[in-house]
Amino acid sequence: MEVWLDQSLLSSLRERMPWLLANRVLKAVGLSTSQGWDRTSEALASVDHAYAERELRRFLEEHILCGEKMTKFYAVGNEGRAALAEAISKAPLGQGPFASSYPLLLDEQALGEAGLDPELVQIVRNAEGVGAVFASCVNLTTRETISTAQLDEHSALRTQFDEIVGLRYRPVQLFAVVWVHSRHNVVEVRTDFPRGMTQELAHQLQSQYRKAVNMLIGQDILVRPVDLYPLVWSMYSDASEGKVVQLTFNTSTGSVKDERMRRTRLCLREELYHVGGVNALSQDIQPFHVSIQWHLSADGLLLAPELTLAGTSRGAHKVGGGSGEPVISAALIKDCLGTEDYEYVSERVLEHLRRLTPAEPAAATAVG
Amino acid sequence: MDKKEVIARLTSTWADTPTGKICLRLAEGLLRLNPEEAQMLTYESMLAIVDQDRVTPELEAALTALTTSEAAILKAGGIFIDEDDTSSELSDEEFADVVARNVLVHPITGEFVDNPRDHVLPFFSLVKLAESAH
């Protein structure tokens, strides 16, 4: 029996995955790609490839769990994690369109009819923990430039303007994951952070899921995310930790620098200009924003996940020397294909948190 | 091929031509650079080395020679910078497509970029040469 490649599977991948990653995935499952999504979709419209379809579905599910995420880490003891894992395991899946189509994404029309409220669509269990996967819809605004040459030749706008900027409101399906680690005293709240989403909206979504978790379990188990600000220096100064591709820092000489590596596989830590500047000062630079990329491989696939810890130039201390809310409450983890590279980055974050924790916490007991 | 061999080849192939003179001047300037400082040289870098204020056909020809001839010491590449100021280094194939056909697929959206040559920063990097024999 022929099984044509599910076009909604391709369109779901297109909606979520950066082309560079998707191109690699399509080739890895044995499909030929053309230049860009349109030509590739056309070329694959009448392909019979059951193996590819199964594998693409797996990649899509993994990307839903791990791709293009804002992640907040919450310190939660054994009892709390056990209770949350149990509550998640018993939670009923939704009955709405998000759940019935999972892992496929709804098209724009169906999204408009689905409503905006989150729905539990999947519960995931593996050796690393247990997670609840939610789907929801938000309206994202994108700006597009419209050339006046595209307008009707009689339009008065053509003489008045050279370029017009339009705002497009588009419903977008997002996924969030509440992940209870089995081996660490940590619960992660991961929310999709696609291109075009503001940090403000991303933090609002995070807050929404934090409250939902607390309601599910009937207690405030997730209160304040772990402050990741100390990891900026910790990870920047560890030369074995990937490649620093961006660093923003204050200097004691009264400037703020934003340095980015443009060439791949080069590290700012070793870059002549950066090293020269750092060595010219007797005071350490004060980084508050770092992006680090790792180069890994798994099952023949090249993986290049990137972590960003984005603080502000105000730093960690207020007037009077005190510190308040977490300076960096979230990690941005992007360019992950799935659990392999995402968990690598998450483990590196947890490792640096452990190094910075003054007292040894009680050993985590496996839960879930 | 070490530095001496590079200069010898350029001299024997291009001697006494306008392109040859610029080519040699450029090669000598590039070969004096610390390799770490030659990871991303732009047209501005080249103009400074040959002390010119604009790119001439002879300079273009010299760069072609230094990237494609037997005495090639440079590798050409490109950085795509989109409207969000996100930059990504192009693969050799992608850069070749931009140069030859003005075609590029956006690495994130997967859609064709309109007139990509306007959005690609061309650069050159010094290839690793053999150490000179003593």
pLDDT, tens digit (0-9, with 9 covering 90-100), for A82-129: 999 999 999 999 999 999 999 999 988 888 887 778 999 999 999 999
Q: Mean pLDDT in chain A?
A: 90
Which H helix or E strand runs over A313? Answer: none
Taking CA A306 as the corner, what is the angle to CA A104 and CA A74, rounded to the nearest 5 degrees?
80
Q: In the block, which residue shows the tokens 């560890």?
A: A238
CB atoms within 10 A of CB A324: 8
Give the per-residue pLDDT at A65: 97
Give the per-residue pLDDT at A360: 47
Give the per-residue pLDDT at B18: 80
The reply to whether residue B110 touches residue A22, judged by beta carbons under 8 angstroms, is: yes
Give the per-residue pLDDT at A11: 93
SS3 B125: strand
Alpha-carbon distance of A123 to A84, in angstroms, equals: 13
* pLDDT of A44 above 60: yes
* pLDDT of A150 above 80: no
Short-list A196, A194, A222, A226, CA closest to A209: A222
Give the per-residue pLDDT at A1: 46
User: Which residues 6+ apart lie within 8 Å of A344 measured at CB?
Assistant: A294, A296, A303, A305
B37, closest residue in chain A (CA to CA): A272
* pLDDT of A174 above 50: yes
Looking at residue A11, its amino acid is S
Could you tell me if B106 and A19 are in contact, meaning their C-beta atoms sit under 8 angstroms apart? yes
Mean pLDDT on A130-155? 83
| Ranges A57-71, A172-186, B11-25: which has the least confidence | B11-25
Give the per-residue pLDDT at B27: 93
Q: Which of B105, B118, B119 to substitute to test the interface with A, most A CBs within 10 Å?
A: B105
Give the per-residue pLDDT at B89: 95
* pLDDT of A300 above 90: no
CB pairs under 8 A between A and B: 48
Give yes or no for B89 touching A (CB within 8 A).
Answer: yes
Alpha-carbon distance of B45 to B68, in angstroms, equals: 19
- Quote the pTM value: 0.90
Q: Using 50, 70 and 90 to split pLDDT, how confident is the model at A218?
A: very high
Short-list A134, A43, A131, CA closest to A84: A131
The pLDDT tens digits for A332-355 are 999 999 999 999 999 999 999 999
The reply to whether residue B37 touches residue A195, judged by beta carbons under 8 angstroms, is: no
Could you tell me if A293 and A243 are in contact, meaning their C-beta atoms sit under 8 angstroms apart? yes
Asked if the peptide bond before residue A103 counts as cis, ω within 30 degrees of 0, the response is: yes
Alpha-carbon distance of A35 to A58, in angstroms, equals: 24
* pLDDT of A50 above 70: yes
Give the per-residue pLDDT at A365: 52
The reply to whether residue B112 touches residue A35, judged by beta carbons under 8 angstroms, is: yes
Give the per-residue pLDDT at A327: 86
Q: Which of A10, A26, A37, A146 to substitute to test the interface with B, most B CBs within 10 Å?
A: A37
* pLDDT of A78 above 80: yes
pLDDT < 50 positions in chain B: 134
Short-list B75, B66, B70, B69, CA closest to B24: B66
Q: Using a pLDDT cut of 70, give the percent of chain A over it.
A: 94
| Ranges A79-83, A173-177, A314-318, B16-20: which has the least confidence | A314-318
| Ranges A165-169, A179-183, A329-333, A348-352: which has the least confidence | A165-169
Question: Residue A263 is nearest to which of B39, B83, B111, comparing CB atoms?
Answer: B39
Give the per-residue pLDDT at B91: 94
Q: Using 50, 70 and 90 to split pLDDT, how confident is the model at A362?
A: very low
